[in-house]
Structure 1
């Protein structure tokens, strides 16, 4: 179970039971090989993510997010391992087709490898959209730690004249 801390900055659509959370990259992000390609963070320090609001958090609350490890590993496999396996499978298919047709095996291996690699990204896109609707692939707010007032929400007291 991976956990991360953040602050709720906006509520999700009514009836969905979600909230948008800003998290700061943790030390675990520093050692990640894809930290610069992370969609939520880009080059900045903060990431924004939509999470299931099971702890009934409100805007400004400091929260703890839970990301299920099994879902994280499945998504990681889909993004990183599947395209490589597809490329290898394409190269093998290209090799077999070249032998059957009596043509250059390296050319067809490369062609089929890149073709399968491209098809893998189409499969990832379709699968990603389908999985994004499943609750098990969304982070969940499991705990509210306290309330944090952003600087823009400061209460201004009227000045009195003496």
Structure 2
């Protein structure tokens, strides 16, 4: 994913970059939405200065991994919880649909702290951090 944005803040090798709204940016979740503008932090690989317009890239593989982690992991946890709850309910004479729903919600809620832990570990490797590649 490539987007062009303007550097609004610089702190060492970390840039804060402002983007105009686009469909691709709204769907990924890496940016902070501020009315019609989006901002994110990126690693400076092009020695940009305040006011410069830069090309920011997120590797496609990393983008899809982040999307999976944020959106699909909780969904999978919910589905597994529903299946487990349904099977447990049938086995122990509880309402299987209700127990499936409750355990599905619990699994979903438990997935968010796990996602946060995984994200923190991957952030140390700077895996999901966008990179400012060049000045335009």
| TM-score range for the pair, normalised by the shorter chain length | 0.7 to 0.9
More helix by percentage: 2
The aligned residue for residue 71 of structure 2 is: 80
CA shift digits 1:10-38 (9 cap, x unpaired): 112x4xx2211111123544xx5x48x77
Q: Kindly tell me the number of residue pairs found equivalent between the two proteins.
A: 136
The aligned residue for residue 87 of structure 2 is: 96
The runs of 5 or more residues in structure 1 that have no matched partner are: 146-162
RMSD of equivalent CA atoms: 2.0
> Does the 8 A contact of 2:57 with 2:131 survive in 1?
yes
Q: Measure, in 2, the Cα distance between the counterparts of 1:93 and 1:143.
A: 50
Q: Measure, in 2, the Cα distance between the counterparts of 1:89 and 1:136.
A: 28
> Does the 8 A contact of 2:31 with 2:39 survive in 1?
no
Q: Bigger radius of gyration, 1 or 2?
A: 1
Q: Give matches, 1:1-162, under 5 Å.
A: 2-12=1-11, 14=12, 17-26=13-22, 28-29=24-25, 34=27, 39-42=31-34, 44-145=35-136
The runs of 5 or more residues in structure 2 that have no matched partner are: none
Q: CA deviation at 1:6?
A: 0.9
